[in-house]
Amino acid sequence: MWKSLACIGRSGPYWMALVVLSLAFEGVALYFQYVKETYPCPLCIHMRLWVAGLLIVALLVWVFRRWPIATSLGHLLVVALTGGMTWTAWRLLGTERGFLISDCGFDLGLPAWFAPDKWLPALFEVQDTCGYTPELGFGITMAEALIVICPLLFLMALAMLIADRVAGR
C-alpha cells in the first residue's frame, strides 16, 4: 500500500490535481467576492494565503517532481499548508457558530514585511469583519464545507508524506 501511495505522490497528475484544487478554491472565493458580493474577512484572507501557498508548492513540485528531494519537501510543505488550512477552517467555523471569540477586524495581523493585501489587493484585501461565511448550497456554509475538506486534505497529505518516507526511492 505504501509503495502505491508513494508512486502516486511522485506522479505528475497528483501534483497537478493539487494545482487544480487550489485554483478551484481561489476561484470559488473570488466568485463569492466579485459576483455574489460577499466580501472577505481576515480569516478568509488567511485561508486564501494557505491555498496560494499550496498552489505555489504544487506547481513547483510538479515542475521538479523527478527530483526526490523536491517531492519529499513538497509532501512536508503540503502537510504544513493543509494543517494551516484546517486550523483556519476551525477558526472560521468557530467564529460563525460562536464557540470561538475572535478579535477579527480589518487587520490581517501579518508582519509589515509580508503585505499580500498591498501586493495583490484584488485577491488578498480584507473588506469585511468576521461573522459568517456564505452558503454554498443545500444549507451548507463555506466554513462547514472547509471544516470537512481541509482535514481530509491534511490526512491525505500526511499519508503521502508517510508513504514517501516508508517507501523511499
pLDDT at residue number 138: 93
Q: Give residue 45's identity as a one-letter amino acid code.
A: I
Give mean pLDDT in consecutive 10-residue pieces for the chain, a chain of 169 residues.
84 95 96 93 93 97 92 95 96 85 74 90 87 88 95 96 82
Q: Which domains does the chain have, with CATH numbers?
A: 2-109+124-167 (1.20.1550.10)
Q: What is the separation, in whole angstroms, between the first and last Cα of the chain?
A: 15
pLDDT at residue number 123: 92
Q: Alpha carbon 63 to chain centroid distance?
A: 20
Q: Which grid cell sits at 54?
A: 499550496
Q: Any residues with CB less than 8 A from the CB of 162 and at least 6 apart, and which?
A: 2
Q: What residue has cell string 509589515? A: 112
169, 7 contact by CB (below 8 A): no
pLDDT at residue number 103: 67
User: How many whole angstroms separate alpha carbon 41 and alpha carbon 4?
Assistant: 40
164, 6 contact by CB (below 8 A): yes
pLDDT at residue number 93: 92
DSSP state of 110: -
User: How many whole angstroms separate alpha carbon 65 and alpha carbon 80?
Assistant: 19
